[in-house]
Amino acid sequence: MRRPRRTGRAEPAPFDAEQDGTTMRRRELLNGLATTSALMLGGRGGASAIAQGSVGDLKGDMAILRGALALHPGLYRYLSPRAAEAGLTTLEAEYLAAPDLAARYLALSRFLATIRCGHSYCNFFNQRRVIVDALFDRPTRLPFAFRWIDGDMVVTADHSGTGRLARGTVITRVNGLPARTLLATLMPYARADGGNDGKRRSLLEVRGDDSIEYFDVFQGLILPPRDGVHHIEARMPGGSVQALDLPAIDLAARRGFMPPPPGPQDVQWDWQMRDDGVAVLTMPGWALYNSKWDWRGWLGDRLASLGDAKGLVVDLRDNEGGLDCGDDILARLTTRDLTFPGDDQRIRFRRTPAALDPYLDTWDDGFRTLGEGATALGDGWYRRPAADEIQAIPAMTPRITVPVAALIGPVNSSATFQFARRARQTGLVRLFGGESGGNRRGINGGCFFFVRLPGSGIEFDLPLVGYFPAQPQPDAGIQPDVQVQANADDIVHGRDPTLAAALEWVRRA
């Protein structure tokens, strides 16, 4: 099994949770925690306290951050210990000197992005209400939805109320800044695994599938319009170039253009049997942890109906992950159980330090003792029990005997990345579209803490399990069997070349 790189003792590194209480790092952590305010924000009343956090509180935040990062299994996957320490030193200076909450949030977000872990970021959806109100609910948003295609900002829906932005319009400048420069400015804040910039670009689109859009947050904090109006230069589908003044919109307005979220009993996928005999299954998400919908029964019934069909196309392009729902498709494509070598699962602690526990929120307190019973590997690493066992997907009936294609792209970075990887390994599903998110070199996740920094009130997500492949892998996502990408003209005319290519293959197979 390939081990992650060992950290040399001669190089500076964040506090090691396994060192005893006499080390400088541990004293720094404990002293920082002792001087940190007990403020835990409970609602809107904490806004002034956040804005006026003392230097002592903010230094305490940095001690908590260092202690928490000592638990991160992917901190040194792409960073050397020296580079990580240099980044932390820069972050601490910026964080303590920051004039306001927004500047602290940006400094922390940019540092976490340097870890190059798709699960390590200041999660919009885990912040307390006072943070959401202060940072995310601003009237700064561009009044349209868009995609990045070959570096161009291409409009997919006009939310301005002016009717002047046709689908396929290319935005060339935003408030005087070239659109490509805007993208480059925001990229260092985008989370992704390793060097997978396709995932970063996809996060910086506005597609209407997240109630808080990544682009909106960072554009609003870094490059907001000065007068509540966005000054746009655009190349229209007919080729003319126009200058437009469009009103900035707020969070409520953005959400007003999104479909309502599904209820706990609602069907969350779509099944269409086309006139040509091809079934199209659209699965925009697998995050069904709190759903009461019987997705397995619903899916099983439809897959069982494919007997006379020409084939099946599964559209996963907007699906970041969740449960391993795709296993129920793979299981019906084989007559024998599918087996896959398990990733080497590693963690950085036996038990979390008691001084850190008050700042680590989670849904399962068992995560605090995740390393108990794990095998010590040295250098602060532990292998989870039975973590690298062979993984199996038992065969299921009735079998799918028709050709199956799946549409993938950079959004796929967790369970859907895993599905794409298994589809390529087995050859049971032909993949169309673009490179997936995630990373073949391994990702971090599985179990999480939500780290609360009481001085500022900011939360960041901390994954606890590092997944390392048995053999060296490239720093890349999963490549499809057939590369297909839409262009601006496809957007203008409502064409979907990725779906069209998959349908053509299914009909011919």
Which tops the pLDDT comparison, 328 or 343?
328
In a domain, 127, yes or no: no
Judge whether residue 21 has pLDDT over 80.
no
Beta partners for residue 405, in sequence order: 313, 430
What does the pLDDT look like over 68-102, one tens digit per residue? 999 999 999 999 999 999 999 999 999 999 999 99
CA distances 360 to 34, 279, 381, 448, 507, Å, are 16, 45, 20, 9, 52
Domain limits at 241? 136-256
- Are 15 and 48 contained in the same domain? yes
- Are 164 and 176 contained in the same domain? yes
- Are 313 and 399 contained in the same domain? yes
Name the nearest CA neighbour of 257 among 312, 292, 211, 297: 211
Mean pLDDT of the chain: 89
Name the nearest CA neighbour of 497 among 483, 508, 509: 483
In a domain, 126, yes or no: no
- Are 374 and 274 contained in the same domain? no
In a domain, 121, yes or no: no
In a domain, 123, yes or no: no
Instruction: Check the CA dihedral 415-421-427-433 and report its sign.
Output: positive
- Are 207 and 240 contained in the same domain? yes
Judge whether residue 30 has pLDDT over 60.
no
In a domain, 131, yes or no: no
- Are 153 and 76 contained in the same domain? no
- Are 91 and 230 contained in the same domain? no
Q: Report the distance separating Cα 318 and Cα 147, nearest Å.
A: 12
What does the pLDDT look like over 273-319, one tens digit per residue? 999 999 999 999 999 988 999 999 999 999 999 999 999 999 999 99
Please, are residues 77 and 2 in contact by the beta-carbon 8 Å criterion?
no
Judge whether residue 19 has pLDDT over 50.
no
- Are 183 and 295 contained in the same domain? no
